[in-house]
Amino acid sequence: MSETLPAGLRAYRLLSAAAAPLALLLLAHRLRRGKELRARLSERRGQTGIARPQGSLVWLHGASVGELASVLPLIERIAARGVNMLVTTGTVTSGGLAEQRLPAGVIHQFLPLDVPRFVRRFLEHWQPDLALFVESDLWPNMMIETSARNVPMILVNGRLSERSFERWRYLQDTIASLLRRFDLCLARTPGDAGRLVGLGAPRVITSGNLKLDVPAPPADSVELAVLADALAGRPVIAAASTHAGEEDIVIAAHARLRKNYPRLLTLIAPRHPERGAGVVAIAKAAGLQAAQRSRGEPPEAKTDIYVADTVGELGLLYRLAPIVFIGGSLVRHGGQNPIEPAKLGAAILHGPHVWNFAELYDALDAAHGAEPVSDADRLTAGLAAWLGDPAGRARVADVARTTVESLGGALDRTLQSLEPYLVELQLRRRADYA
């Protein structure tokens, strides 16, 4: 695609090119904070020691753990067709999930920083034949350079919240220039589709939310048995994917609840595992006993707060806790994904800030498959109500599971939309080997 870039994108291109030396300082800073892997820093500069596989290559990019987890079934289905795949992500935790869960033969790399020469180096090496971008992680230089190479680009599980839509309206020319580069946008919901069209996307289909079709997260059977034995006979609640400010609220709720439930254990899984030590400090400051899973500390009889600051173990928590508060919702983050706990039979509580999954939370709340809470007091009351009413929370959990199951089907619809592109790649592959 060739077009004159709007002024905002031209300025971005110039500034990001000039900032290349500073990018190295940024990577060093992120490395010190545990946000990069020393052995793989070169990937963030577009370099790699892995050879490009022969034949056609599908490149899929998802920003972090949630995006990657949502498209694992899609990756499996594409790879099963014999198509070479490259998957990129942007966080250390997503790299860990890729190592655990990607099918054999699928290559993982960290996405290069959005510096023109890093991006060009990446694309010149991998030479993708089809690019799939997941949800909303759209980097201007990457999109511009990819489209300049005439690589078909498709937005998968496209997401655009009302808040983001309103912000982008002030940069209409900029976002329209980027969205026009997509051959196709597959949106999660009609609302997402309408907002993408409103910002200039030329071809949009509502395919549904891929996260609804992801199997329930796995759990190591040995670890599950060990933890279930350690927690036997104790009332258990969980707070999953929490953000800064929410752990204080959950820990304060625990302190109030243990007056009636002295053996209560609260499991807390911070959204960013590197914050685990900080969560332990909050618990100890509240006079509670805390253990930290990343340090190999087991929950003991005296443990009040068990901080699950590891990657890929939410499946354990959801199988152990019949009541789960979903984080990112009492602070203004937009809410995290409620699908996994719903599939594993947990009764769900959430705060008011859930615009990242607005339609899904609306469906759950309307069916009484989840309970919204507006503040710390309401959270404490909601937890207390379900701790004292196992039958009631089981009914809520059953409704949540049924609601989530009824909304599925996005994987098949997505594959149907991708079919012409995949068939073309397979035909090209056969021609190459003829």
* CA dihedral of residues 230, 231, 234, 236 (deg, nearest 10): 160
Is 67 one of the catalytic residues? yes
**Residues whose CB is less than 8 angstroms from the CB of residue 359 and which lie 6 or more positions away in sequence, other chains included:** 188, 189, 191
425-432, Cβ contacts within 8 angstroms, sequence gap of 24 or more: 425/56, 425/58, 425/83, 425/129, 425/130, 426/56, 426/81, 426/82, 426/83, 428/56, 428/129, 429/55, 429/56, 429/82, 429/83, 432/55
Angle between helices 140-148 and 172-179 (to 10 degrees): 40
Pick from 130, 110, 129, 106: which is nearest to 118 by CA?
110
Beta bridge partners of 391: none
Kindly tell me the number of DSSP H helices and DSSP E strands found in the chain. 18, 14
Beta bridge partners of 326: 240, 350
Helix (H, G, I), strand (E, B) or coil at 86: strand
Point out the catalytic residue in the list 36, 43, 67, 313. 67
Contact in structure between 115 and 145 (CB atoms under 8 Å) = no
| Residues acting as catalytic residues | 67
